[in-house]
Amino acid sequence: MKKMEAAYLEKPGKIVVRRIPIPSIEENEVLVRVARCGVCMTDVHMYKGSFPVKMPVILGHEFSGTIEKVGEKVTSYANLTGQIPIKVGDRVSAIPIINCGLCPACLRGKSNLCESVQAIGGAGEIVNNGAFAQYIKLPARVLYKLPDNLSYIAGAFIEVTACCLHGIDLSRIKEGDSVLLIGAGMVGLLLLELVKFQGPSQIIVSEGISERRKLAKARGADFVIDPMRTDPVNEVKEITSGQGADVVIEAVGSPQTTEQAIQMAKKGGIVNIFGVADIKAFSQIKPFDIYFRELTVVGTYAVTLDTFNRAAKLLASGRLGIDYLLTEELPLHELKKAIEMMKKKKGLKKQIVMVKE
């Protein structure tokens, strides 16, 4: 039996690369040889134990690769790619969510909120093995054929771009709005790139790391705030003539920044809780604030089929600047190092490289 390498999360803080048999596929499945897989903050949460997951498990949900084997009953891609035949050698990514297609959420187009959703290598109640491995088997219907001009690097960016696009949709930014981003890590910066397309009058970024503030400024933020040195709530009020921002996107995931987000929004404004908080964390929020200032508080979880498709097309258009976001490319046995770096907020996106382009 042919073998492959796979990185298992065995218990919080422990990742072990094992040689295991290459998975065999069922008639409705496809075997993909993984080229690249991005490391995500949800991987860090599962590694730390702050997002519970059944272990041992192979994580990794932001991937690209090549089709190696096709099950007997697999014929064409799902409608998202267009009804074209699936072939060995096709370059693909996958939507890391298996939804039922029949529950009320699925029927409303909210595949990410499916009642019996299974995640592939990502954060969810049921988690199937992911792509921090040389091969991954997948149900054919989650496969997404990469546009011809999209590299494996960009292919592994589709999922995270789709998450951000989903967040932008839910933030309902209007041309001329003032938009505040809390956090300019890899996801905060990607959100910044997408906010620019929405025609805001003002982009404000609050970020504690000076390197990241510099990047945010260079990429188009009008104002950057260091929340370690000034009171960010007062600072935002000052920048917005005492009003607060029309839209606040919290992309850190801490109780404190969530509290700030509520205080920084304008009357009638929108607050989007985008960052992944520790599952046990609590914030202190005054209900009166939300009531009296008519705030809309929304959350953003994962991707939908629609946002995945749009993210792939947007990346293929070349209009979205992402090259600077990839700061580390590491082999599989350095996955633990990559996750530790993310914990310490070093660098931006890390990709695990299985096959060099």
Interface residues with Zn ion (CB under 5 A)?
Answer: 40, 99-100, 103, 106, 114
**Residue with Cβ nearer Zn ion (20 or 100):** 100
Is there a contact between 255 and 233 (Cβ–Cβ < 8 Å)?
no
**Residue with Cβ nearer Zn ion (189 or 224):** 189
**Residue with Cβ nearer Zn ion (259 or 329):** 329
**Residue with Cβ nearer Zn ion (45 or 137):** 45
For residue 280, the SS3 value is coil
**Residue with Cβ nearer Zn ion (15 or 98):** 98
CA-based nearest residue to 132, from 302, 12, 45, 9: 9
**Residue with Cβ nearer Zn ion (104 or 268):** 104
Residue 40 beta carbon to Zn ion: minimum distance, rounded to whole angstroms: 3
Residue 317 beta carbon to Zn ion: minimum distance, rounded to whole angstroms: 22
Cβ contacts of 181 within 8 Å, gap of 6 or more: 188, 191, 192, 195, 203, 204, 205, 206, 216, 221, 249, 251
Q: How big is the chain by its Cα radius of gyration, in Å?
A: 20
For residue 212, the SS3 value is helix
* Tokens standing for residue 348: 């931006």
Residue 301 beta carbon to Zn ion: minimum distance, rounded to whole angstroms: 11
Residue 299 beta carbon to Zn ion: minimum distance, rounded to whole angstroms: 16
**Residue with Cβ nearer Zn ion (122 or 232):** 122
CA-based nearest residue to 95, from 311, 277, 273: 311
CA-based nearest residue to 6, from 137, 156, 146, 145: 137
Provide the angle, in degrees to the nearest 10, between the axes of the packed helices 186-196 and 210-218: 20
Residue 43 beta carbon to Zn ion: minimum distance, rounded to whole angstroms: 8
Residue 159 beta carbon to Zn ion: minimum distance, rounded to whole angstroms: 6
- Give dist(CA 23, CA 16) in Å, integer: 18
- Give dist(CA 27, CA 36) in Å, integer: 25
- Could you count the other beta carbons within 10 Å of the beta carbon of residue 281? 12
Residue 103 beta carbon to Zn ion: minimum distance, rounded to whole angstroms: 3
Residue 12 beta carbon to Zn ion: minimum distance, rounded to whole angstroms: 19
**Residue with Cβ nearer Zn ion (185 or 244):** 185
CA-based nearest residue to 4, from 48, 65, 53: 65
* Tokens standing for residue 328: 């580390």
